[in-house]
Amino acid sequence: MKIVALGDIHNKDVDVPKGDIIIVAGDFTFEGPVKFAENFLKKIRGKILAIPGNMDPPEVLDVLEREGVSIHRKIVEINGITFFGFGGSSTTPFKTPFEFDDEEIEKLISGFKADIAIFHDTPYGFFDWVNGNSVGSMAIRRWIESVKPKIVFCAHIHEHEGVAKFEETLIVKIPPANRGRCVIVEFENFDNIMIRFVNL
């Protein structure tokens, strides 16, 4: 399986590499326009799994639902592998359109289990450092500790890209597409995973 994952597009018209699954981990826009998200989806080739980011107006989620690509608070199974997604972020100082406090996130993701999870926000303590502070979601971190998915994709914090192991889970921090980067993850099984960060 070849997964191409990108996020934080912020209205930049980038070409998306081909893959079996294309993950779009939110922030299609910069508080709109919603039409950009519609047009961006049309040019992608491959099975799309998408969530909104904190900078996306709620109408972007409506577009994802209408196009049949939303995985926000849903489980999707592909070739025997389960995927779960949750969009938006924990609260920010900027009062962005699609954010939740951590208590809300904990309630909204409770009860979901999957092999692969897609979050817009980062889990607390992983790729979430801004000005020396961790700003990720404790709710997402606790969910990972409890559910133990094989892979977690996250985006949101533009300053970071990379891979980390958290107990049994591989955390893949997607680089921002508006800076011309994405990540490709390939595997036949979860024992042998190849990860490449590439230019768009």
49-93 per-position pLDDT tens digit: 999 999 999 999 999 999 999 999 999 999 999 999 999 999 998
Query: What is the dihedral angle through the alpha carbons of 160, 133, 152, 113, rounded to the nearest 10 degrees?
Result: -160
89-117 per-position pLDDT tens digit: 999 988 999 999 999 999 999 999 999 99
Quickly list H helices, 43-132.
58-66, 102-109
Quote the DSSP letter at residue 11: T
Which H helix or E strand runs over 34? helix 34-42
How far apart, in whole angstroms, are the C-alpha atoms of residue 93 and residue 112? Answer: 28
Indicate the CATH number of 2-199 among 3.10.180.10, 3.90.870.30, 3.40.50.1970, 3.60.21.10: 3.60.21.10
User: Model pTM?
Assistant: 0.96
Quote the DSSP letter at residue 69: -
141-186 per-position pLDDT tens digit: 999 999 999 999 999 998 889 999 999 999 999 999 999 999 999 9
Residue type, 92: T
Q: Give me the residue label for tokens 């409890």.
A: 146
Q: Helix %, strand %, coil % for the chain, to 5?
A: 20, 35, 45
Rounded to 10°, the helix 138-147/102-109 angle is: 30
